[in-house]
Amino acid sequence: MSYDDRSVKPMSASLMRARIATKILSGLYEDVPTMLTSAIRLMVELPGGSAHSGPPYPFTIGVSPAWCSGVNGAKLVGTGKLDLVWLNPSIIPTMAYNGQGPFRRKYPLRALAVFPSWDRLVIAVSPKLGVRTMEELIEKRPKMNVSVAVNDCVDFAIKFLLKAHGISQKDFIEWGGTVDEVVRPSNPNRRDGIISGNVHMVIDEGMDSWGDVAVENGMVFLPYSEKVLKKLERYGFQRARVDHGRIAGINDPTTVVDFSGWPIVVHEKFPDDLAYHVAGVLEKIREEIPYDASEVPSMKSLCTSTEAGPLDFPLHPGAERFYREKGYL
């Protein structure tokens, strides 16, 4: 029998603890993000027991992006080791669902929602290199300083991107250059290197944190050839455009691949009524929570595919039921 003392007082002891715990958690991320993302595997375990067929349900929410927001997070949910994670970009759970790219088999993933996070996977080069395509660069084999991402959300994509061009990071070293691996796209050394001209190439996503400064300093986003695009599509990527509508100063629209979206991902066996109520909570807190977007998204955009939030794998039936009942689908 479940117990809820809100009939006696508006703020139960459990609710008090839950609010305090989540505020402490978010406060720690604000004050000491490096400690938490690199040293501690954060998760929230809600009470319950496997002997119960109904609520309360024990489930674990993965929080730290250092270990569960990319390819590894999709595998952890798909194998039942985590119950709920935020993955970025949407292409990761889509690839996992289809058994493409870095996933050797299909994983039974479902979405509770998808948050907007517009992005592209790009190759930007300094005007000093004097090239307009990746093929020209490979032919010239210039000595250059390259800044690339190294984290579980984008490592696999950069490897596939270079492989589609017939090269790897080792080639940049063999050409006499250097490779600086950064965990975050906003790394200040990258920005300083772009401004000073010491960084000659950037391969990464997270364009909102470095794209503008790259364009301001004359860097060019290289287009992907049709041959390369078809190879990337076989891996599971989807082509997309980079233009002045998102990054100021781009005069020549460029075709690259999409890296947008921030879905909430669960296993297909995640309880239906729990998925239903998670969607309900999102509706309640929608205007209070932060987004990687200039404005608060509508509920409709949280459950349908958009440019900033692609949703190309299924909604969980419980969450879908909520959205349909409310008229968002």
**Are residue 41 and residue 88 in the same domain, yes or no?**
yes
pLDDT value of position 45: 59
SS (H, E, C) 156-169: HHHHHHHHHCCCCH
Position of tokens 């993000």? 33
- In this structure, is residue 189 part of a structural domain? yes
- Is residue 4 pLDDT above 60, yes or no? no
What is the number of domains present in the chain? Answer: 2
Position of tokens 């990258």? 190
- Is residue 40 pLDDT above 60, yes or no? no
* Residues 188-209, mean pLDDT to the nearest whole number: 95
Strands 262-267 and 178-182: unpaired
* Residues 222-251, mean pLDDT to the nearest whole number: 88
Higher-confidence residue: 253 or 314? 314
pLDDT value of position 48: 55
**Are residue 233 and residue 309 in the same domain, yes or no?**
no
**Are residue 251 and residue 124 in the same domain, yes or no?**
yes
Per the CB < 8 A criterion, the answer to whether 143 and 110 are in contact is: no
- Is residue 49 pLDDT above 60, yes or no? no
Question: pLDDT tier at 22 (50, 70, 90 boundaries)?
Answer: confident
- In this structure, is residue 22 part of a structural domain? no
Taking only the tens place, the pLDDT of each residue in 164-192 is 999 999 999 999 999 999 988 989 999 99
pLDDT value of position 245: 65
Which of these three, 258, 292, 309, is where a domain ends? 258
pLDDT value of position 1: 41
CA distance 56 to 78: 22
C-alpha distances (whole Å) from 78 to each of 93, 290, 291 are 9, 27, 25
Q: Find residue 145's DSSP bridge partners.
A: 178
Q: Which two tokens stand for residue 242?
A: 């980079």
Q: Which two tokens stand for residue 194?
A: 């772009």
**Are residue 174 and residue 108 in the same domain, yes or no?**
no
Q: What is the pTM of this model?
A: 0.88
* Residues 244-263, mean pLDDT to the nearest whole number: 83
- Is residue 225 pLDDT above 50, yes or no? yes
Taking only the tens place, the pLDDT of each residue in 109-159 is 999 999 999 999 999 999 999 999 999 999 999 999 999 999 999 999 999
- In this structure, is residue 19 part of a structural domain? no
CA atoms within 13 A on the CB side of 326: 19
**Are residue 124 and residue 98 in the same domain, yes or no?**
no
- Residue 282 structural domain: 32-118+261-325
* Residues 67-83, mean pLDDT to the nearest whole number: 91
Torsions phi, psi for 170 (to 5 deg) = -60, -30
- In this structure, is residue 150 part of a structural domain? yes
**Are residue 158 and residue 98 in the same domain, yes or no?**
no
